[in-house]
């Protein structure tokens, strides 16, 4: 690495860095983020540094993946803090375009994500994955990475992007990385900053309930009744609303009714006041 972590703010600048690395025969890893970086993000950057010679981390709070009523305006931002953390984690280049650079006037093309985008998050955030797929497609063609690293924290996102890369023959490999958690089990998330002290104390109950659900399903308990029990636990813990607690096929994200040969995943989204938390765990 050496020296200061560089920041590119225009596609033209980005291409200069990438072009030079390519000429030198270096491989490139990309870690897409929306900033407000925590140790979970940094674990992806460290993994990226093991997978390629050069690491690009994008920081872009993508407006098109937020619905008008969602938290785009209050989403936490701390570019200076992020850049300092990235330097220590082994990032070579921060790709931090302005919204106008990513979506210049006249921009009108988008990627329609595949079937993995339809259930779960797709039902509650209908335009979310189109925004994610489109921005990731742009990031992939801007950075031209050999590999891109995504967290299993956003498990359905990873499935949707795997489907996109496969269906569109995009020339890169996606790597999923495990979810980093607080000691009490709460998945690290930039949105945890929204939680009050009381909400923060309740928050780990979501992970506890889905972990229990996963082990019940693995032990042959009826999926429907195990899901009902998990809903009760999460509601009793103090969550104000549950969008879904589901057991799904780990690749297609279609609901699973029985334990079979294919890997299953438990996925959940629930609200603590104004904060929406998501989590998931393998069966
Ligand atoms: P975000 O900035 O929230 O869009 O996340 C950027 C990337 O970091 C995504 O691939 C996330 O899945 C991943 N990520 C978020 N939280 C965690 C976590 N707790 N552990 C590991 N990866 C995470």
Q: Where are the domains of the chain?
A: 6-177, 190-282
Residues with Cβ within 8 Å of residue 55, at least 6 apart in sequence: 28, 29, 30, 31, 45, 48, 49, 90, 91, 92, 93
What pLDDT score was predicted for residue 274?
A: 95
What span, in angstroms and rounded, lies between the C-alpha atoms of 26 and 236? 53
**What is the Å distance from ligand 1's center to 85 Cα?**
15
What value, to the nearest 5°, has the Cα angle with vertex 112 and ends 254 and 241?
50
* Ligand 1 atom index nearest CA of 190: 3
* Ligand 1 atom index nearest CA of 151: 12
Residue ID of nearest Cα to ligand 1 atom 22: 151
Per-residue pLDDT of the chain (283 residues; tens, 9 = 90+): 456 789 999 999 999 999 999 999 999 999 999 999 999 999 999 999 999 999 999 999 999 999 999 999 999 999 999 999 999 899 999 999 999 999 999 999 999 999 999 999 999 999 999 999 999 999 999 999 999 999 999 999 999 999 999 999 999 999 999 999 999 999 999 999 999 999 999 999 999 999 999 999 999 999 999 999 999 999 999 999 999 999 999 999 999 999 989 999 999 999 999 999 999 999 9
Which structure tokens are listed for 144? 């031209």
What pLDDT score was predicted for residue 4?
A: 76
Which of 29, 30, 32, 33 to probe ligand 1 with, by most ligand atoms within 8 A of CB? 33
**What is the Å distance from ligand 1's center to 276 Cα?**
15
Residue ID of nearest Cα to ligand 1 atom 19: 188
What span, in angstroms and rounded, lies between the C-alpha atoms of 67 and 63? 8
With a 6 Å cutoff on the Cβ, whether 187 touches ligand 1 is: yes
What pLDDT score was predicted for residue 1?
A: 46
Domain 190-282 falls under CATH 3.20.20.100? no
Residue of 4, 226, 223 lying closest to 94 (CA atoms): 4
- 41 counts as catalytic: yes
Residue ID of nearest Cα to ligand 1 atom 5: 33
* Ligand 1 atom index nearest CA of 36: 2
With a 6 Å cutoff on the Cβ, whether 119 touches ligand 1 is: no
pTM attached to this predicted model = 0.97
**What is the Å distance from ligand 1's center to 68 Cα?**
22
What span, in angstroms and rounded, lies between the C-alpha atoms of 134 and 140? 10
**What is the Å distance from ligand 1's center to 221 Cα?**
31
**What is the Å distance from ligand 1's center to 152 Cα?**
8
- Angle between helix axes 79-89 and 39-51 (nearest 10 degrees) is 40
What pLDDT score was predicted for residue 3?
A: 63
Assigned superfamily of 6-177: HUPs (3.40.50.620)
* Ligand 1 atom index nearest CA of 149: 10
CB of 85 within 8 A of CB of 42? Answer: yes
Length of the chain: 283
């Amino acid at each position: 690495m050496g020296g200061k972590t560089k920041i590119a703010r225009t596609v033209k600048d980005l291409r200069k860095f990438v072009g030079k690395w390519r000429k030198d025969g270096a491989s490139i890893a990309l870690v897409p983020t929306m900033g407000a970086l925590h140790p979970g993000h940094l674990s992806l950057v460290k993994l990226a540094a093991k997978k390629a010679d050069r690491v690009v981390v994008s920081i872009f709070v993508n407006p098109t993946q937020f619905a008008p009523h969602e938290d785009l305006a209050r989403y936490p931002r701390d570019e200076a803090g992020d850049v300092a953390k990235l330097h220590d984690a082994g990032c070579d280049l921060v790709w931090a375009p302005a919204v106008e650079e990513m979506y210049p006037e006249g921009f009108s093309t988008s990627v329609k994500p595949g079937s993995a985008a339809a259930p779960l998050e797709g039902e509650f955030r209908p335009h979310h994955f189109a925004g994610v797929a489109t921005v990731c497609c742009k990031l992939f063609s801007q950075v031209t990475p050999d590999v891109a690293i995504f967290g299993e924290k956003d498990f359905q996102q990873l499935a949707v992007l795997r489907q996109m890369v496969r269906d569109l023959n995009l020339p890169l490999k996606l790597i999923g990385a495990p979810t980093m958690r607080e000691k009490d089990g709460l998945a690290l998330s930039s949105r945890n900053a929204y939680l009050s002290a009381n909400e923060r104390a309740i928050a780990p109950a979501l992970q506890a309930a889905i972990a229990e659900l996963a082990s019940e399903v693995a032990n042959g308990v009826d999926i429907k009744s195990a899901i009902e029990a998990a809903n009760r636990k999460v509601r009793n813990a103090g969550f104000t609303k549950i969008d879904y607690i589901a057991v799904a096929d780990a690749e297609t994200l279609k609901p699973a009714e029985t334990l079979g040969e294919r890997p299953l995943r438990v996925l959940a989204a629930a609200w603590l006041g104004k904060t929406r938390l998501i989590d998931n765990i393998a069966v």
